[in-house]
Amino acid sequence: MTATSTLTNFDVELANPRISLEERQKRMLNLGFGKVFSEHMIVIPYTAELGWGRGTLKPYGPLVLDPAASVLHYGQAIFEGFKAYRQRDGHIRTFRPEANAHRFNQSARRLAMPELPEALFLEAADLLIRTEQDWVPKAIGESLYLRPFMIATEAALGIKPASEYVFVILASPAGAYFPQGVKPVTVWISDDYVRAAPGGTGAAKCAGNYAASLVAQAQAKGEGCDQVVWLDAVHRRYIEEMGGMNIMFVYQEQGETVIVTPELTGTLLPGITRLSLLQLAKQLGFKSEERRVTVEEWEAALLEGRMTEAFACGTAAVITPIGAVKSRKGEWIINRRETGPVAAKMREALLNLQHGITPDSYGWMHTVC
């Protein structure tokens, strides 16, 4: 049963009955990542003929797809991920959602999919979050993770950009991404597989990139590691990313702390956490550099004590320290497999800002309600 009403760009069909307080509390215990979903979702259809249609906020449930829908065959599918945080002052705010709306359209262009007006992306997310306020957890490090995505729905087996799509947003209350929490991970440097090549889709957040990464991740697991580290496809020397996160290295140079992260060459995903940490570094008294880093440099800098920490960063897990690096050539330990002070400080600074504990001096937080 649903109750229907109308907003400017959206029809609203609320779930009836809503989930009870007790049931919601039960589902929100021991959250983890991406396993629990809220009660509603947003759906906006697109056709080449009519453009974006009227959106609907409706009860969470299955999508009906024609078995010939081209996403199922040729993989036109892109997604985003950002979070809504409960604030000290009782408001709910999202972190840089306009950056996700912008990157979503960059991904859309790369996959020959239609762009969605950024204002509509933001309005849709705000409507869903306002409806699902009770699903935003309270603890620091917990949030409501928003998963906007777009898939090609046209029933057609010819290889061409589809003429029909659907844009959807799901909401999922989230705790720690990795089951072990913020403990340092061991990474495997992948020689056998690459994530992205020049001219490919590495800078887009498209489903196929993740499908192609799974076998390398499985190999890393088989080598006793938690995550895979990707090298560039051409030279197989330059470090690009760790799993689904950007990577940062901490150097000590002439009494200064320098955060070094691989430059965006077109094969890396331009992370919003990466960009934010580069901006925050200055405020925390750290220098930062965007440049290429080779595997040889990683090993040498660690052995010489010039590099003191390494960590990965992304929306889902925020900051994940790297405690050890393994490859076919050997294994190196970083910071005695402990979380280092720079990773801890940056994580705390970012989370405090996201939860409204420290002032939002960059104007990054977007008030939803």
Q: To which residue do tokens 């859309």 refer?
A: 108
54-62, 264-272, 279-287, 292-300 -> range binding ligand PLP (CB under 6 A)? 264-272
Q: How far is the CB of 89 from ligand PLP (least distance, A)?
A: 25
Binding mask 190-229 for ligand PLP (x = CB under 6 A): ---------------x------------------------
Residue 175 binding ligand COI, by CB under 6 A: no
Indicate whether 81 belongs to the interface with ligand COI (CB under 6 A). Answer: yes
Rg (CA), the chain: 21
User: Which residues within the stretch 219-248 sit at the binding site for ligand COI (CB under 6 A)?
Assistant: 244-245
Site string (70-109) toward ligand PLP, x via CB under 6 A? -----------x----------------------------
Q: From the list 186, 241, 319, 354, which residue makes contact with ligand PLP (rule: CB under 6 A)? A: 241
Q: Is 169 a residue that touches ligand COI (CB under 6 A)?
A: no
Phi, psi (5° rounding) for residue 346?
-70, -40
Instruction: Give the helix ranges, DSSP H, for the chain.
Output: 21-27, 71-74, 97-110, 118-131, 207-222, 272-283, 295-303, 341-354
315 binds ligand COI (CB under 6 A): yes
Nearest-angstrom CA–CA distance, 106 and 78? 10
How many chain residues touch ligand COI (CB under 6 A)? 6
Q: What is the spatial distance between Cα 294 and Cα 291, in angstroms, rounded to a whole number? A: 10
| CA dihedral sign of residues 251, 253, 258, 262 | negative
| Structure tokens, 214 | 């799974």
The distance of closest approach from Cβ of residue 81 to ligand COI in the complex, given in angstroms and rounded to an integer, is 5
152 contributes a contact to ligand COI by CB under 6 A:
no
CB contact at 8 A, 239 and 322: no
On whether the CB atoms of residues 126 and 8 are closer than 8 A, the answer is no
Picked from ligand PLP, ligand COI, none, the partner binding residue 267 (CB below 5 to 8 A depending on kind) is: none
Q: Which of 194, 316, 349, 353 binds ligand COI (CB under 6 A)?
A: 316
Tell me the torsion sign for CA atoms 162, 167, 172, 176.
positive
- Which residues bind to ligand COI, rule: CB under 6 A? 81, 244-245, 314-316
